Amino acid sequence: MRSRVAGVRRRDRHGRGLRGPLTPPQAPVSRTRAERFADLVDDEVRRLGARWGRELAQVDFTVEEVPEVEPLFDGPVPLGQTLPGAGDRPVRIVVYRRPVEARAAGEAELSQLIRELLVEEVADLLGLSPESVDPSYDTPDD
């Protein structure tokens, strides 16, 4: 029977533990959920920017984990928000990752929810209807 040395922690019974990453860092499987979510938002921003580039040139799109709400807030948690610019700070459209992920059942639904959310926020910012910002707003993706 072996005695344990104080202060030495072993990862498995042979003391080796994991020898290295299972996948290379550039592989899609090694990206975190937050990184994949940010990629979906960036893809949608690029898609909207192709049509509304001049109008959205001064808009900053960001992803945050959760919205800041009052402790006794009693209502639906916001999925996104448009924050007005002040001084030299541009207008920001914020997408809240955790509430959006909680409402989506899968990857396809998550992508669709992000698309709808950003189209609605851009439409509200520009004072247009969502259908005029994105003609495919009400039609499901194939």
pLDDT on residue 13: 63
pLDDT tens readout for residues 104-134: 999 999 999 999 999 999 999 999 999 999 9
Query: Quick one: which of 131, 123, 54, 67 has its CA closest to 95?
Result: 67
Residue position matching structure tokens 């001049």:
54
pLDDT category at 18 given cuts 50, 70, 90 is low
Rounded CA gap, 43 and 122, in Å? Answer: 15
**Cβ within 8 Å of residue 45, ≥6 positions away:** 56, 61, 118
Mean pLDDT of 47-55: 94
Q: What are phi and psi of 10, to 5 degrees?
A: -110, 145
Mean pLDDT of 74-89: 90
pLDDT category at 70 given cuts 50, 70, 90 is confident
pLDDT on residue 25: 67
pLDDT on residue 3: 47
- For residue 50, the one-letter residue type is A
Predicted confidence (pLDDT) at residue 142 exceeds the cutoff of 60:
no
